[in-house]
C-alpha cells in the first residue's frame, strides 16, 4: 500500500503542477512548459504524472493477476513491471524537472542541483537493481546472465550522471550511493524483529531479512570515472566502447572471486549477511545450500558472452551519455 501511496502522491503533486501551470494566470512556469493533450507544464511533471497513473493502474491489474494466476512471489511479472515503470517514471520525471530548473537557472555552480541529480541517479540505480535482483543474487554470480544484465542497465545511470553533472567521480558517487544503501539494509533490517506471516516456512526467521550484499559496482564505476577523465576528446562511441569493456572487465575481475567468498561460512556474519535466508527459501535451494547456479556454458562460450556483455555495456553507456547530454540542454 505504501508503494501505491507514492503513486497517489506523485499523481497529486505533479497533477497539481500541471493544472496550475495550465489554468493559473501568470504561472511562472507557463513560458517554460510543453503542451500535451491541451495541458501545459514542465516536461518532468508530465512524465512523473504518467508514472503515478501507471502505478495506480498496476494495482487493479496486479490484483486480478493474483486472482487469475495466484500471488506472484516473483518481482518480474507484467503488473509488477508496469508498477516499476511507473516508479521509474516518477523518478525520471523528477530528474527532468530538476534538469530543466538547473538549465534555466542563472547560477553558475548549481551545486545543490548537481548533488540532487547524483542522489536521484543513485536512487534509480537502487531501483534498477531491484528489478535485476532475480538475476544477480549471489548464487547467479558465476552465471553469464548476471554479467549481461549488469552491463545492460546500471551503466546507463552512471553515464547519465557523469554527462549531466560533469563531476569527475560522478559514476563512483552513484555506485557508492547504491552500495551504502544496500549495506545499510544489511546492517539495519536484522535489528528489527519479524516473523513469517505466510507458510511454508522453510527457514526459521526472527527478524527482517535484508537483500544480498551489494554488487561491487564501485570498482568498475571508479574505473569508468578514470577512463572518462582521460578520454574527454574521444568520439562518443569510442568512449562508450571502451567503457563497456572496462566495465565488464573490472566488474568480472572483482565480483567473480568475491562471489566465491560470499559462499563461504566466513561471510555469514552481520556485515556480509549471507547467513540471512528468506523464510520461504527451500532447504534444497542454491541459496540455502550456498551453491552456485550451474552454468551451462563452456569457457569459450562464457568468454564470448562476456564480450556480448561489453557490447551491451557500450550501448548502455552511449545511451546514458546521450540522455545526460539531452537533459543538459533541456529548458522546459
- Cα–Cα distances (Å) from 64 to 3, 72, 198, in that order, read 18, 11, 20
- Cα–Cα distances (Å) from 154 to 17, 44, 253, in that order, read 31, 22, 17
- Report how far residue 123's alpha carbon sits from residue 116's, in angstroms, rounded to the nearest whole number: 10
Min separation Cβ 296 and another protein, Å: 9
**Cβ atoms of residues 141 and 255 within 8 Å:** yes
Q: Write phi, then psi, for 58 (nearest 5 degrees).
A: -65, -25
- Report how far residue 47's alpha carbon sits from residue 34's, in angstroms, rounded to the nearest whole number: 11
Q: Write phi, then psi, for 210 (nearest 5 degrees).
A: -80, 165
CB atoms near residue 246 (< 10 Å): 20
Min separation Cβ 241 and another protein, Å: 25
Binding residues (CB under 8 A) for another protein: these are 31-32, 34-37, 43, 46-47, 50, 53-54, 57, 60-61, 64, 66-71, 73, 77-78, 100, 104, 195-204, 279-280, 282-286, 293-294, 326, 329-332
Min separation Cβ 138 and another protein, Å: 14
CB-nearer residue toward another protein: 85 or 180: 85
Min separation Cβ 294 and another protein, Å: 6
Min separation Cβ 255 and another protein, Å: 22
CB-nearer residue toward another protein: 268 or 332: 332
Min separation Cβ 227 and another protein, Å: 29
CB-nearer residue toward another protein: 210 or 328: 328
- Report how far residue 317's alpha carbon sits from residue 77's, in angstroms, rounded to the nearest whole number: 27
**Is the link from the previous residue into 119 a cis peptide, with omega within 30 of 0?**
no
CB-nearer residue toward another protein: 93 or 313: 93
Cα angle: 104, vertex 106, 110; to 5 degrees: 85
CB-nearer residue toward another protein: 226 or 281: 281
- Report how far residue 217's alpha carbon sits from residue 45's, in angstroms, rounded to the nearest whole number: 31
Q: Write phi, then psi, for 9 (nearest 5 degrees).
A: -60, -45
Output the nine-digit C-alpha cell for 47. 512524465
CB-nearer residue toward another protein: 265 or 294: 294
CB-nearer residue toward another protein: 286 or 319: 286
Min separation Cβ 257 and another protein, Å: 24
Amino acid at each position: 500500500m505504501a508503494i501505491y501511496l507514492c503513486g497517489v502522491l506523485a499523481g497529486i503533486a505533479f497533477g497539481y503542477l500541471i493544472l496550475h501551470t495550465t489554468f493559473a494566470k501568470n504561472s511562472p512556469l507557463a513560458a517554460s512548459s510543453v503542451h500535451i493533450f491541451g495541458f501545459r507544464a514542465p516536461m518532468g511533471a508530465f512524465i512523473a504524472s504518467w508514472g503515478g497513473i501507471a502505478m495506480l493502474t498496476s494495482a487493479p491489474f496486479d490484483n486480478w493477476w493474483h486472482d487469475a494466476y495466484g500471488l506472484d512471489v516473483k518481482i518480474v511479472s507484467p503488473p509488477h513491471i508496469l508498477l516499476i515503470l511507473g516508479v521509474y517514471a516518477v523518478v525520471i520525471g523528477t530528474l527532468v524537472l530538476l534538469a530543466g530548473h538547473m538549465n534555466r537557472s542563472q547560477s553558475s555552480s548549481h551545486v545543490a542541483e548537481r548533488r540532487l541529480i547524483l542522489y536521484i541517479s543513485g536512487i534509480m540505480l537502487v531501483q534498477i537493481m531491484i528489478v535485476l535482483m532475480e538475476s544477480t543474487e549471489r548464487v547467479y554470480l558465476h552465471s553469464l546472465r548476471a554479467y549481461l544484465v549488469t552491463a545492460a542497465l546500471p551503466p546507463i545511470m552512471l553515464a547519465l550522471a557523469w554527462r549531466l553533472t560533469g563531476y569527475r567521480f560522478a559514476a563512483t558517487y552513484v555506485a557508492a550511493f547504491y552500495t551504502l544503501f544496500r549495506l545499510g539494509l544489511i546492517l539495519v533490517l536484522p535489528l528489527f524483529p519479524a516473523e513469517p506471516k505466510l507458510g511454508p516456512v522453510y527457514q526459521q526467521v526472527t527478524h527482517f531479512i535484508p537483500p544480498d550484499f551489494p554488487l561491487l559496482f564501485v570498482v568498475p564505476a571508479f574505473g569508468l570515472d578514470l577512463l572518462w577523465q582521460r578520454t574527454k576528446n574521444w568520439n562518443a562511441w569510442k568512449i562508450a566502447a571502451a567503457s563497456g569493456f572496462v566495465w565488464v572487465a573490472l566488474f568480472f575481475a572483482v565480483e567473480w572471486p568475491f562471489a566465491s567468498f560470499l559462499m563461504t561460512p566466513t561471510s555469514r556474519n552481520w556485515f556480509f549477511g549471507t547467513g540471512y535466508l528468506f523464510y520461504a527459501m527451500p532447504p534444497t535451494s542454491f541459496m540455502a545450500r550456498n551453491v552456485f547456479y550451474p552454468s551451462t556454458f563452456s569457457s569459450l562460450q562464457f568468454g564470448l558472452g562476456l564480450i556480448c556483455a561489453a557490447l551491451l555495456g557500450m550501448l548502455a553507456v552511449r545511451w546514458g551519455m546521450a540522455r545526460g547530454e539531452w537533459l543538459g540542454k533541456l529548458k522546459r
